[in-house]
């Protein structure tokens, strides 16, 4: 499975603004928190004794919301759903504004309100159909 930085680099021709994420994922870049957020680490172990303050909890929830909205936005490419697209992209903008207002993220660049169509129609013939066809040919 490709790494996030590899996937992001491949998306640059279609979505140039993702270059900020690509650069942020480089060694000690501003997006390296994603690794600790995903895999835990010493920071979480230390928090067991000291606890989290309100701003840290809000930041974690904001990041979790952004990941959920990212998944919803991706779904608008898989299945056409105009209502979901309106919700996902406007909510993404709201979360970006909230991150900027609360934590100084940004400024938030202008973002597209739809994703490009998939490069191929799905993943091709389902595996079971391909196997069945190959067996039938014998």
Higher pLDDT, 42 or 25: 25
CA dist 116 and 119 (Å) reads 8
* Span 62-109, pLDDT tens digits: 988 988 898 888 888 777 788 888 898 899 889 988 988 888 876 667
Average pLDDT score, the chain: 76
Distances (CA, A) of 18 to 39, 82, 102: 23, 24, 23
Q: How many CB atoms lie within 10 A of CB 44?
A: 12
Q: Are 108 and 96 in contact (CB under 8 A)?
A: yes
pLDDT at 91: 92
Q: Are 60 and 40 in contact (CB under 8 A)?
A: no
């Amino acid at each position: 499975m490709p790494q996030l930085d590899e996937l992001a680099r491949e998306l640059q021709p279609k979505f140039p603004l993702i270059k900020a994420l690509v650069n942020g994922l480089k060694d000690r870049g501003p997006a390296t928190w994603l690794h600790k957020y995903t895999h835990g680490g010493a920071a979480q172990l230390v928090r067991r004794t000291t606890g989290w303050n309100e701003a840290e909890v809000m930041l974690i929830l904001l990041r979790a919301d952004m990941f959920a909205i990212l998944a919803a936005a991706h779904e608008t490419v898989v299945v056409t759903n105009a209502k979901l697209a309106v919700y996902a992209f406007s909510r993404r903008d709201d979360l970006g504004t909230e991150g900027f207002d609360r934590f100084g993220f940004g400024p938030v660049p202008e973002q597209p309100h739809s994703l490009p169509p998939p490069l191929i129609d799905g993943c091709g013939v389902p595996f079971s159909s391909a196997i069945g066809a190959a067996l039938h040919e014998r």
